[in-house]
């Protein structure tokens, strides 16, 4: 299907998110269709999706079960108020999510995005301590190079300079752990060996501020948006120990790792570390309808269930929390994952993915490669004086050659749908090699 209004002048009104707007509008890249592993461009070209959209279309595109569920739901119950009213599939979806969550995680609070899940979890953490009579615990600990969405809580605990520097003072009382990306771990396949001790910095932060002032520590088990930063062996376990010792809630931001990306339903199971809360979004609905969810332990939830029963326990929620159409998309998505065994499929193809990815070690400009599950990063030597430019050129050339990759800084990050097959892995990596070898 061709786009009938291709003039760049028509593109002005939409201020595009996280986009070089002027560059894009001078040379637009438009998708008009998608199916399984491919996008179709406005010019009718097929583009292999190496990023599952934005880490969200884990089952691939336009999957029939999800499409039908959304179509049926929108005709049956389009919207129901989320406050003081319910509808059955919101409860059903929560139960299905809990079925696949680690033991001990047993409640679901719905949001509409990863950013909202983060804000929700941070608020629940502070309110949890207050509900238990520990109201001085308001401090939040994040990590350098962490990405937790774009709202004020998330950018405050996050550690990406460009997401922080122009937005004022942000939340007070926040501190950061060091990131876990160490040069000695370069070229590691899977979890790196060095750096578990970086978790001990939480002890320093506790000594500095006092545990009695700290509500929660939030980390991505695998950080995606800053270029795939992996947790060193033993690191997450150590964080868990220190949080438990000091009564600090541990929040795993599983917005990208949730729903199969590492071959397990959640990273918590992959690493066998149980957080007190998990933030999710993206793969929950296969990206089809915006939806997120915060998953909590019974202990976190139950702390709120006190006082007169007619009173609202948590003053928080969104107009679209548990929206029926999003819930229908979520249920059909989880069914698709289960019916097609997509999390196991991810685990099965991950070793092939790893070897294909690391075959790029001798491609031009490559200075590091790292991977886990169906996630991979290829780091490029930046052009002196023009950081990000080389990777952005790679992104543009890759698109011209028919593959969709993503870049952050000078790092190429890939996270294909879990339905990718070996031939498509070869195509993605083979095309990327051609792109890299042709770069200045």
Ligand X SMILES: Cc1ncc(COP(=O)(O)O)c(C=O)c1O
Closer residue to ligand X, CB minimum distance, 211 or 223: 223
What mask of x and - would describe binding to ligand X in positions 365 to 404, judged by CB under 6 A?
----------------------------------------
Which whole-number Å values give the CA distances from 227 to 79, 370, 387, in the listed order? 38, 9, 14
Least separation in angstroms between CB 148 and ligand X: 5
Q: How many helices (H) and strands (E) does the chain have?
A: 15, 15
Least separation in angstroms between CB 384 and ligand X: 29
**What 3-state class would DSSP assign to 218?**
strand
Q: Applying CB under 6 A, does 255 fall inside the site for ligand X?
A: yes
Least separation in angstroms between CB 143 and ligand X: 11
Least separation in angstroms between CB 319 and ligand X: 16
CB 362 within 8 A of CB 438: no
User: Hey, how many other C-beta atoms are within 10 angstroms of the C-beta on 184?
Assistant: 9
Least separation in angstroms between CB 264 and ligand X: 17
Q: Applying CB under 6 A, does 114 fall inside the site for ligand X?
A: yes
- CA–CA separation, 219 and 201 (whole Å): 13
Q: Applying CB under 6 A, does 416 fall inside the site for ligand X?
A: no
- CA–CA separation, 157 and 141 (whole Å): 6
Closer residue to ligand X, CB minimum distance, 124 or 356: 124
Which positions from 137 through 196 interact with ligand X, judged by CB under 6 A? Answer: 147-149
Q: Applying CB under 6 A, does 411 fall inside the site for ligand X?
A: no
Q: Applying CB under 6 A, does 115 fall inside the site for ligand X?
A: yes
Across 174-325, the runs of DSSP E, i.e. the strands, are 174-177, 214-219, 249-253, 277-280, 292-297
Least separation in angstroms between CB 427 and ligand X: 25
Candidates 76-84, 85-93, 218-226, 344-352 — which segment interacts with ligand X by CB under 6 A?
218-226
Which whole-number Å values give the CA distances from 343 to 58, 338, 417, in the listed order? 9, 8, 11
Tokens representing 7 are 């003039």
Give me the residues that bind ligand X (CB under 6 A), please. 113-115, 118, 147-149, 220, 224-225, 253, 255-256, 281
């Amino acid at each position: 299907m061709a786009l009938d209004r291709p003039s760049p002048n028509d593109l002005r009104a939409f201020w595009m998110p996280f986009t070089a707007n002027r560059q894009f509008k001078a040379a637009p890249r438009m998708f008009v269709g998608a199916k399984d592993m491919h996008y179709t461009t406005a010019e009718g070209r097929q583009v292999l999706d190496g990023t599952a959209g934005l880490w969200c279309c884990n089952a691939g595109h336009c999957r029939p079960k999800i499409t039908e569920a959304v179509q049926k739901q929108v005709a049956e119950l389009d919207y129901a108020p989320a406050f003081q009213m319910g509808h059955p599939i919101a409860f059903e979806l929560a139960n299905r999510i809990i079925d696949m969550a680690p033991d001990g995680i047993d409640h679901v609070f719905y949001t509409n995005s990863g950013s909202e899940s983060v804000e929700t979890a941070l608020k629940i953490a502070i309110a949890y301590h207050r509900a238990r009579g520990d109201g001085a615990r308001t401090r939040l600990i994040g990590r350098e190079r962490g990405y937790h969405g774009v709202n004020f809580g998330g950018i405050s605990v996050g550690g990406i300079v460009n997401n922080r520097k122009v937005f004022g003072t942000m939340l007070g009382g926040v501190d950061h752990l060091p990131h876990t990306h160490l040069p000695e771990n370069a070229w590691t396949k899977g979890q790196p060996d060095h750096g578990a001790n970086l978790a001990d910095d939480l002890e320093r932060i506790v000594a500095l501020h006092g545990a009695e002032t700290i509500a929660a520590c939030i980390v991505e088990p695998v950080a995606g948006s800053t270029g795939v930063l992996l947790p060193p062996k033993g690191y997450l376990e150590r964080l868990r120990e220190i949080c438990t010792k000091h009564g600090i809630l541990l929040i795993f931001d599983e917005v990208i790792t949730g729903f199969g990306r590492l071959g397990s339903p959640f990273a918590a199971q992959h690493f066998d570390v149980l957080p007190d809360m998990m933030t999710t979004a993206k793969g929950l609905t296969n990206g089809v309808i915006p939806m997120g969810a915060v998953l909590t332990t019974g202990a976190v939830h139950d702390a709120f269930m006190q006082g007169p029963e007619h009173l609202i326990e948590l003053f928080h929620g969104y107009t679209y929390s548990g929206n029926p159409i999003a819930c229908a998309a979520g249920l059909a998505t989880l069914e698709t994952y289960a019916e097609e065994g997509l999390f196991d499929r991810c685990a099965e193809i991950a070793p092939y993915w790893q070897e294909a990815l690391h075959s790029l070690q001798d491609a031009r400009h490559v200075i590091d490669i790292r991977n886990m599950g169906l996630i991979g990063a290829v780091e490029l030597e930046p052009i002196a004086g023009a950081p990000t430019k080389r990777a952005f050129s790679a992104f543009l050339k890759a698109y011209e050659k028919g593959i969709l990759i993503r870049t952050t800084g000078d790092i190429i990050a890939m996270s294909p749908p879990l339905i990718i097959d070996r031939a498509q892995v070869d195509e993605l990596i083979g095309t990327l090699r051609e792109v890299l070898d042709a770069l200045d």
